[in-house]
Structure 1
Amino acid sequence: MDLETFSPGSGRLEPRAAFRTDAPSLDLNGTWRFRLSPTANVPEDFAGPDYDDSGWDDLPVPSHWVLHGHGAPAYTNVVYPIPVDPPRVPDENPTGDYRRAFDLPEGWTGGRLRFEGAESFARVWLNGHELGFSTGSRLPVEYDAGPYLRPGRNVLAVRVHQWSAATYLEDQDMWWLPGIFRDVTLTRSAADVFVRASYQDGRGTLSFDGPGTLSVPELGVEGLEPGAEITLDVRPWTAETPHLYDAVVTCPGETVRLRVGFRTISIVDSVLLANGRPLLLKGVNRHEFHPEHGRAVPYETMREDVLLMKRHNVNAVRTSHYPPHPDFLDLCDELGLWVIDECDLETHGFGGFGWRGNPTDDPRYEDALLDRMRRMVERDKNHPSVIMWSLGNEAGVGRNLAVMADWTRERDPSRPLHYEGDWSCAHTDVYSRMYASHAEVEAIGRREEDPLDDPELDARRRQMPFLQCEYAHAMGNGPGGLAEYQELFERYPRLAGGFIWEWIDHGLTHPEHGYAYGGDYGELVHDGNFVIDGLVFPDRTPSPGLIDLKKVFEPVTFEFGDGVVRVVNGHGFTDLSHLRFVATVQVEGETVAEHRLDVPAQGGECKLPGFPDGPGGERWLTVRAELAADEPWAPAGHEVAWGQALLTLHDPAPNDLLTAFTRTATEPAGGEVIDAGVVAGGESRDGGESRDGVGLRYGGGAGARDELIAGDSAFDAVTGRLVRLFGTEVEGPRLDLWRAPTDNDRADGLADKWHRLGLDRLTHRVDEITAGEELVVRTRVAPAATNLGMLATYRWTFDGGLRLVLDIEPEGDWRDPVARIGVTMTLPGAAVDRVTWFGPGPGEAYPDTGMAARVGRWSATVEELQTPYVRPQENGHRADVRWAELGGFRVSGEPTFGLTARRWSAAELAAARHRPDLVAGDRLHLHLDLAHQGIGTATCGPRPLPAYDLLARRTTLRLRFDRA
C-alpha cells in the first residue's frame, strides 16, 4: 500500500450524520490483539481469519499504543517530527497491526463497519477481504461490511501506520499518538438526516432532508415530509437556555432519534448575532486529552469538562484543531455551549519554510482537504451548538481553502465560516486573529485596523465581526491581561469575544516526573513544556487562571453606591430570575451580617439593608449571585458572580511608645555607629548598667555572636540582620529583587535579562549600623559585574513588637523591570504549618492576575499555599495582605504587603523541571513583598501591559511583626 498517496481513502461509504438509532449494532471496542512493527513493510498475512496471533499482545481499543508500552509519545508544537518532504515519509514508520474476532448474531444481514478515529492511516480487512483505507485521523469512516460477513465467527483486521502523506495535514500542537483511539462499531444503520431548525421573533421554522418522515411530539409535529417546511411557536436554543426538542425520523429499516434546537446565527452590520441578539463568546480552546488515555477521552470525563466549563462561566468552545468525539457535541447541545467546529487540518510546520510546498496550496491535496471538510460537516450538521464551521488552523493560505469554503457554503449556508490563517478573510465570514494585543483589538473594535492592500477585501473585512480564536495563553502562571481584554470585548459591538488557549495541560502521567511533557520520552525533536498550557491541570483541577477567568466572564456585575447596589445583567438571552442575591458584611474577615436582596429580574438598583455597627476594622460588603434552584450543570447555591465594596476602614491610633533599641547609660546622645551587639539584661560595654533592660557589649563568650536585642528579638551586630524573632531563630529579612521565572517571564525575555543582570545572585554589603531610638542598618545590594545597585536602609523600632521601615533607592541606570521588590527571610520549617491571613484570597494573585481574589480571612497550610504548576515556577503569591499569622508571630503591612511562604527557596524552585523535583527542606522561605512584575501572556501573545511593569524606583516597604 502506498502510504504516500494523496488520496484520502478508498472503499469508503459516503459520510453521514452521527445520531442515535434503533438499528442493530455491535460494539467492537474492547481488547484486541496487537503487534507493533518498526517499519511499514510487514507482510499482510495477519489479515487472514485463520492467522495465529497467539504471540501478540493485548491492547484496548480505543487507545493509543504508545500509552500502553509500545513505543513512546512525542510532542511538537510547530515542527514536524519527520523530514518535511511531502508526501514522502520515513522508512522508520511505526506500524500497528490489530485483530479482533467477534460473533455475528443469528439472523444478522448487511451492515457497516464504522471507525470514529484512527491515526494516521488505517487499512481495514474483514475475514481476509480488504475493505479499503482511510486518512483523516479525527473523522469517522464507514465501510460496507455486508458482502464479507459470515454467520458466527468473524475476524476484523486493521493496519495503522503512524506516518503517511496525511501526516502533513495534522501538525496540530499536540502529542503524536497513533492508534485506533475512538470507537469501532458494526451497525446496520444506513440513514442520513439533515434537520434545519431556525428561529426568528419567537417562531421556529423546521424542515429536514433525508428518507422517511419527521415527528416532534412536544410540538405536535407528526409525519413531516422531506423538503416540507413548517413554522410554529418554539422555545429557542441558546447556550444560556439550551432547550432541545426530541425528534424522531422514521426511516426504512430504522428509527433515528435526535434532539433539535431552534436557533439562527447571523451577521448584521459587523455584529455576530444569535436569534437576533448580539453574541459575545466567552470561550476556551479544547484539545481532547486525558493524562492516561491521551485523546481516547472517556465519556464521563467529557461530561465533567462541560460541567466545569459551565460552572466557570465559559459559554463557548473551539474544537482545536479537529472535530471532537461526537459525544462531546451532544453534551454541548444538552448543557449549552456555543461551538466552533474545526476541520482536521493544520500545516503549521511549513511556516518555517515560507510556506513552500504547503498542502493548502497544493492541488494534489485538494481531494484530501475537501474530504476532511465534508466528513466534519456531514457528521455534525444536526448540532444546534455548532454555530460556525472552521476550515482548519494555521495552515497558511492557498487554493484549497476556496474549494473547502465553496462546498461548505453550498451544503450549509446557515453557519458562518471561520479561518484565522488568512487575514484577508477571502473565504470566511468572520475576521479572526490570534494573540492580537489589547491595542490592536481596540483598533479593530473601532474599525480602525490597518487596511488591506486590496480595497475590496478591506471593505468586506471591515463589515465582519471580529473574534480572537486564540488569546491569553494559559501556560504556567497566568495568563495576565484577561480583564482588559474582556473590557474591550464588552465595549465594542464588533468584537464577538474569543477563546482562551487552552482548556487543559497535556501532561501525561509519568512514574518519575508526575506529569511528562516534551522531551521526557527522549524525543530528539520536541517543544518542551509548551504543551502544558491549560486552564486546568492534567487531573482537571482548576488552575488560578480558570478561577480568574470565571470572575472575568461573570454574566452579572455589581456597581456600588451610597446605600445601594446596581445589579447589571450581562446575560445575552435570559434575565436574573434564576438567581438569588445575598449580601454579607464582614469586619476583618469575620461575618457580622447577611441579608437576601430583592433584585428585579431585569437587574437594576437595589437598596441595601442597614447593617449593625461592629468592632473596628475594615468592613467589607460582598454581594453574591447564586443559582436559586438546581440546574443541569450545577446545584442550587452555586455561585455565579460576586462583587465587593469597602464600607469603612478602621484607622488604629498611631503608636507613640517606641522603646526599642534604647541606648546604654554610657552611649552618647543621639546614638552611635556600633560594631557590637546588644543583649537584654546584659552589661554595657564599660560594665555599666543598661537602661530599660537593654545593653551593649562586645563578644558574648567563646564562639558567641554579638547581638543587638530588643525584647525577645535579636539582631546580628555585624550584619544588622534579624536572627531571632520572639524566640524563633530566623535569617533575614533582606532585600530581594528576583523570582523563579514563570513561563511568561522566559518568553518575554525578562528571565534572561534578570539572569544577565544578576538579580538571582545579589550581594549585600553593610555600610553602617546605628543604634539609638531605632536600629538603622544601611546597606547596598548589588550583583557582581554591574554598576547597578540598590541602597536599602532598614529602620527598626520596638514597642513590644518590631516595626520595619525599609527605604529603597536605586543607583545606576535600571532600564528593565525587576521581578519583585520585597524582602525574604527564613525560619525553621517546623515553626509554621498553617498560615492565616486577612486580605484577598483564597488563591494567588499578581498585578495583572488574581481577579478572583476577594478580601476576607483565609487559612491554608504551607503546602496548600503552593500552586502545583506542572513545570514549577513562581507561584502562590497572596497580594495586598493586611496581616498574616505564621506560627508564633503576626506580620502586618502598613498598609499591605505581598505574602509567599514555601518549604524551598526561589533558587530551588527555578531549578526544578517537574513537581517531584521540589522537596521540602527544613526551612520555611518567607517572602514579604512590596510589588511584583506583571505576568502577561508572552508565551503566546503580548507581554504585560506597561502599567504592570515593575521599574526600579525609590520606594518604601513598611512591615510590623508582633507575637501571635
Structure 2
Amino acid sequence: MLRPQNSPTREMVTLDGTWRFAVDWDRTGLTDNWQNGPLTGHLDAPVPGSINDLYHDEKIRNHVGYYWYQREVRVPRGWDGERIFVRLESATHEGTVFVNGTKVVEHAGGYTPFEADITDHVTAGETFRLSVAVNNELTNSSIPPGEIIELEDGRHQQEYKHDFYNYAGLHRSVWLCSVPAVRVDDVTVTTDYRGATGAVDYAVSVTGGDDAHVAVRVLDEDGTEVARANGASGTVEIPDVTLWQPGAGYLYDLVMEVSQGSELKDSFTQKVGVRTVAVEGKQFLINGESFYFTGFGMHEDHETLGKGHSDAHMIQDFQLLEWINANSLRTSHYPYSEDIMDYCDRHGVVVIDETAAVGLNWAIAGGIMGGSAGGTFEPGHVDDSTQTTHRQAIRELVDRDKNRPSVVLWSIANEPDTAAEGARGYFEPLVELTRELDPSRPVGFVNVMFAPAGACTVSDLFDVLMLNRYYGWYVQTGDLRTAEASLEKELRQWDEQYAKPTIMTEYGADTVAGMHSIYDQPFTEDYQVAFLDMYHRVFDRVECMIGEHVWNFADFQTKYGYARVDGNKKGAFTRDRRPKAGARALRQRWAGKLGR
C-alpha cells in the first residue's frame, strides 16, 4: 500500500484537526447506526491524538469499547473523474469507516494504515460526512493480545499483557486522496552496488490498464537524472553512486511514470537509498562494514498526546538522539508513524522494525504487572487465531516498510514465551513467512530473560539474537557485582551456543530524576549510571555483542500498578525530555563507539 503523495497526477488533502467525538457507552453505536447522522453531545477530539488524557471524566479514560469520530469533508471540485480514497494511518486498535452512512472499510491492528476507495460514494465539489468507530479492545486474537474482564457491577476492564499504557484513538493523520484510474499500485525495491556503481532492482505493479507502459527515472538529490529504464520490472544502474549510510541518509528519487500511448496516466516517486545489509559470522554489516548499534528502545508517548503523532515532538526526540550519539532505534513495540520512518530514511537513522506482537507471554503478563493463570500457547490464550492475526501484522509491516533503507532488521515479536511448549510450532511458520515476504533483510525477535540460553526453543531460527536483560534490577537488585557475573555468564553461553551477532535490546533501571545517593541505591540517578557502566563493561568483553539499546529513551506511561508510580521511569530522559545523569554517561560512551 503506497503512502499518498502530491505528484503531477495525484493530490492529497489532510483531514487532521478537531473532529466531533462521542463515547459509545452501551455498545449501541453500530446497531443504532450513529453514522447516519451527526454525533450527539458536545465533545471534540484532536486528530492525531490519543483520547485518554484529554478529558476530566475518568470514565472516558477507562472506557472499554468504541469511541466515535466524525467530521464533514469537502471533496475538491477539481477531482471530478479521479479515483478518490480515504486513508487512515492508524486506528488503535480497530477502525470502521463510514461515508454518508455507508461502511467503506474496517481494519484490525492499531499501528498500520488502511484505506478505502470512496469514489462511488462522494461527488467532487460537494461535502460528505466521514465517521470512524474506533474500538480499543484487546483479546487473545488481537496483536497485542489481552482479555476483557466483566466485573460484578457490570463494568468492563481491559487486561493486557504489555507494560505500556493502552492509549487509543486516531493516533496518526487521516487523508483524502485522488489518484488516476490507471496508476502505480505498488513497487518493491532492493538495492546493491559494485564498486562505484549502484544497482536498483524494481518491480512495479500497475492497476487499471493492462496495456500501460512503465518508464522509470532515477534522480539524485539535486534533481539531476542519473539513470533510466523501461518496463514494469528491471534494474537501473547508478554511476558514481552515493550510498545510504548510518548518519548520512542519501536518498534518490525513483520516478515511475505510467502511460497509455502518448498520454501520461500516473507519476509516482519512491525514495530509494542504495545500501546493503548482511549477517556474516558474528558481525552485522551495512555496506560491507561492521555496524555497532547504539540507541534505544523507544515509545510513541508524550504527555497529553499519548501515542498521537506530533512533528514538533518528533524533531525534539531525534535531536536528542543525535545529541546522545545514538545511531539507531527499535520501534518497540509496534510499527511507528510513517513520518518517523521517513525521518529515519532521510537522516540515516538505523531502525529495527517491530510488529505489535508484544505480550505473547501468559507467564509474565507484562513483566511485573501480574495476570491470569495458565500457559501461553493454549486455546483461548496464544492460539491459532492469534497466529492468524500475527501473520497479517507481519504482512502489513513488511508491505509498508519494505522499501525503506533505514530498516535493516525485522523484529517479529517482543518477549514471547519461547521456553514454553508450543513456541516453536507457533513461530517457525512466522519466520518462514517473513523471509518469503522479504528475503533481503535479517529476521529476529526479542528474547525475554525467562527464556535464557539453553532454554529458548526458537533462537536457532533467527539471524540475529536480541536480548532483554535486567540483572541488577528485576533480579539481584542493587547487587551490581553479582549481576555483572550473571550477565557475563549468560552472554557467553549465548555466544558459545549460537555464535550469532547479539544486540542487548533492553537493559535499564527505573530512575527518579533528582534522586541521589553515595551508595548503589536503586532508583537514584547514581545507580542508573553505575548500572549502565556495568553492562557496558560486560558488552566490551563478549565477542558476539554488536549493539546496545537502553530501555528506555524516555520515561513513559503504563497501566496502574504498585510497581509503576506514574509510569515506567527507566528513561535516559524524563517524559518531558530532560536528561538524567545516565544520558550524559551514554553520550560519552557512544561518542567513543562512533569515533567522535
Contact in 2 for aligned 1:359/1:365 (Cα 8 Å):
no
Shift in Å, 1:444: 6.4
Matches of residues 791-940 of structure 1 in structure 2 within 5 Å? none
Contact in 2 for aligned 1:246/1:258 (Cα 8 Å):
yes
The 2-side partners of 1:245 and 1:440 are apart by: 47
Aligned to 2:406, which of 385, 406, 413? 385
The 1-side partners of 2:502 and 2:414 are apart by: 16
The 1-side partners of 2:118 and 2:74 are apart by: 14
More helix by share: 2
Shift in Å, 1:538: 1.8
What SS class does the counterpart of residue 362 from structure 2 fall into?
A: helix
The 2-side partners of 1:358 and 1:331 are apart by: 41
The 2-side partners of 1:482 and 1:43 are apart by: 51
The 2-side partners of 1:400 and 1:469 are apart by: 22
More strand by share: 1
Q: 1:297 to 1:532 in 2, by over 3 A?
A: farther
Aligned equivalent of 2:23: 36
Aligned to 1:192, which of 186, 190, 197? 186
Aligned to 1:153, which of 112, 118, 127? 127
Aligned to 2:108, which of 110, 130, 135? 135
Shift in Å, 1:349: 5.6
Q: Is 2:449 aligned against 1:415?
A: no
The 2-side partners of 1:526 and 1:161 are apart by: 28
Contact in 2 for aligned 1:474/1:500 (Cα 8 Å):
no
Which amino acid is the alignment partner of residue 536 of structure 1?
F
Matches of residues 611-690 of structure 1 in structure 2 within 5 Å? none
Contact in 1 for aligned 2:90/2:110 (Cα 8 Å):
yes
What SS class does the counterpart of residue 506 from structure 2 fall into?
A: strand
The 2-side partners of 1:378 and 1:475 are apart by: 38
Shift in Å, 1:483: 3.2
Q: 1:358 to 1:531 in 2, by over 3 A?
A: farther
Aligned equivalent of 2:145: 168
Contact in 2 for aligned 1:172/1:346 (Cα 8 Å):
yes
Shift in Å, 1:479: 4.5
What SS class does the counterpart of residue 173 from structure 1 fall into?
A: coil
Q: Deviations over 1:668-711 (max 9, x none)?
A: xxxxxxxxxxxxxxxxxxxxxxxxxxxxxxxxxxxxxxxxxxxx
Which amino acid is the alignment partner of residue 95 of structure 1?
Y
What SS class does the counterpart of residue 193 from structure 1 fall into?
A: strand
What SS class does the counterpart of residue 192 from structure 1 fall into?
A: strand
What SS class does the counterpart of residue 147 from structure 1 fall into?
A: helix
Aligned equivalent of 2:459: 425
The 1-side partners of 2:185 and 2:246 are apart by: 29
Q: Is 2:221 aligned against 1:216?
A: no
What SS class does the counterpart of residue 188 from structure 1 fall into?
A: strand
The 2-side partners of 1:500 and 1:224 are apart by: 47
Matches of residues 505-904 of structure 1 in structure 2 within 5 Å? 505-506=555-556, 519=560, 527-555=564-592, 570-571=594-595
Relative contact order, CA 8 A, sep 6+: which one is greater? 2
Q: Deviations over 1:308-354 (max 9, x none)?
A: 10121111100100010011111112222111000011125622433
Range with bigger deviation, 260-269 or 223-232: 223-232
* Greater Rg over alpha carbons, structure: 1
Shift in Å, 1:234: 1.5
Q: 1:348 to 1:46 in 2, by over 3 A?
A: same
The 2-side partners of 1:552 and 1:241 are apart by: 21
Which amino acid is the alignment partner of residue 101 of structure 1?
E
Shift in Å, 1:518: 5.1
Which amino acid is the alignment partner of residue 431 of structure 1?
L
Percentage of pairs with the same residue: 25
Q: 1:351 to 1:201 in 2, by over 3 A?
A: farther
Aligned equivalent of 2:480: none
Contact in 2 for aligned 1:138/1:323 (Cα 8 Å):
yes
The 2-side partners of 1:59 and 1:209 are apart by: 41
Superposition TM-score, scaled by structure 1 size? 0.49
Q: 1:500 to 1:377 in 2, by over 3 A?
A: same
Q: Deviations over 1:493-530 (max 9, x none)?
A: 421112100111125xxxxxxxxx754xxxx8984345
What SS class does the counterpart of residue 392 from structure 1 fall into?
A: strand
Aligned equivalent of 2:157: none
Aligned to 2:69, which of 98, 121, 125? 98
The 1-side partners of 2:135 and 2:242 are apart by: 48
Which amino acid is the alignment partner of residue 85 of structure 2?
R
What SS class does the counterpart of residue 373 from structure 1 fall into?
A: helix
Which amino acid is the alignment partner of residue 445 of structure 2?
Y
Aligned to 1:241, which of 248, 270, 289? 248
Q: Is 2:68 aligned against 1:66?
A: no
The 2-side partners of 1:541 and 1:237 are apart by: 31
The 2-side partners of 1:490 and 1:347 are apart by: 31
The number of residues matched between the two structures is: 505
Aligned equivalent of 1:292: 304
Q: 1:56 to 1:404 in 2, by over 3 A?
A: farther
Aligned to 2:329, which of 317, 324, 346? 317
Which amino acid is the alignment partner of residue 571 of structure 2?
G
Shift in Å, 1:357: 3.6
Aligned equivalent of 1:626: none
Which amino acid is the alignment partner of residue 245 of structure 2?
T
Q: Deviations over 1:470-491 (max 9, x none)?
A: 1134543315332343344445
Q: 1:122 to 1:372 in 2, by over 3 A?
A: same
The 1-side partners of 2:70 and 2:578 are apart by: 37
The 2-side partners of 1:493 and 1:18 are apart by: 41
Which amino acid is the alignment partner of residue 502 of structure 1?
N
The 1-side partners of 2:271 and 2:60 are apart by: 39
What SS class does the counterpart of residue 350 from structure 1 fall into?
A: coil
The 1-side partners of 2:233 and 2:23 are apart by: 50
Q: Deviations over 1:808-844 (max 9, x none)?
A: xxxxxxxxxxxxxxxxxxxxxxxxxxxxxxxxxxxxx
Q: 1:487 to 1:226 in 2, by over 3 A?
A: farther
Aligned equivalent of 1:227: 233
Range with bigger deviation, 94-103 or 320-329: 94-103
Which amino acid is the alignment partner of residue 48 of structure 2?
P
> Structure 1, unaligned stretches of length 5 or more?
1-15, 76-80, 82-91, 452-457, 508-516, 557-569, 572-639, 641-964
Shift in Å, 1:168: 1.6
Which amino acid is the alignment partner of residue 396 of structure 1?
D
Which amino acid is the alignment partner of residue 104 of structure 1?
V
Which amino acid is the alignment partner of residue 72 of structure 2?
A
What SS class does the counterpart of residue 67 from structure 1 fall into?
A: coil
Q: Deviations over 1:729-756 (max 9, x none)?
A: xxxxxxxxxxxxxxxxxxxxxxxxxxxx
The 2-side partners of 1:489 and 1:74 are apart by: 46
Contact in 1 for aligned 2:361/2:417 (Cα 8 Å):
no
Q: Is 2:3 aligned against 1:18?
A: yes
Which amino acid is the alignment partner of residue 272 of structure 2?
V
Which amino acid is the alignment partner of residue 406 of structure 2?
S
Q: 1:474 to 1:307 in 2, by over 3 A?
A: farther
> Structure 2, unaligned stretches of length 5 or more?
147-159, 206-213, 260-264, 365-372, 472-483, 513-524
Q: 1:357 to 1:200 in 2, by over 3 A?
A: farther
Contact in 1 for aligned 2:48/2:309 (Cα 8 Å):
no
Aligned to 1:402, which of 428, 438, 447? 428
Which amino acid is the alignment partner of residue 96 of structure 1?
Y
Shift in Å, 1:36: 0.8
What SS class does the counterpart of residue 187 from structure 1 fall into?
A: strand
Q: 1:436 to 1:347 in 2, by over 3 A?
A: closer
Q: Is 2:439 aligned against 1:465?
A: no
What SS class does the counterpart of residue 435 from structure 2 fall into?
A: helix
The 2-side partners of 1:43 and 1:269 are apart by: 55
The 2-side partners of 1:93 and 1:525 are apart by: 22
Q: Is 2:317 aligned against 1:305?
A: yes
Aligned equivalent of 1:931: none
The 2-side partners of 1:317 and 1:73 are apart by: 35
What SS class does the counterpart of residue 436 from structure 2 fall into?
A: helix
Which amino acid is the alignment partner of residue 110 of structure 2?
S
Q: 1:194 to 1:72 in 2, by over 3 A?
A: farther
Contact in 1 for aligned 2:300/2:309 (Cα 8 Å):
yes
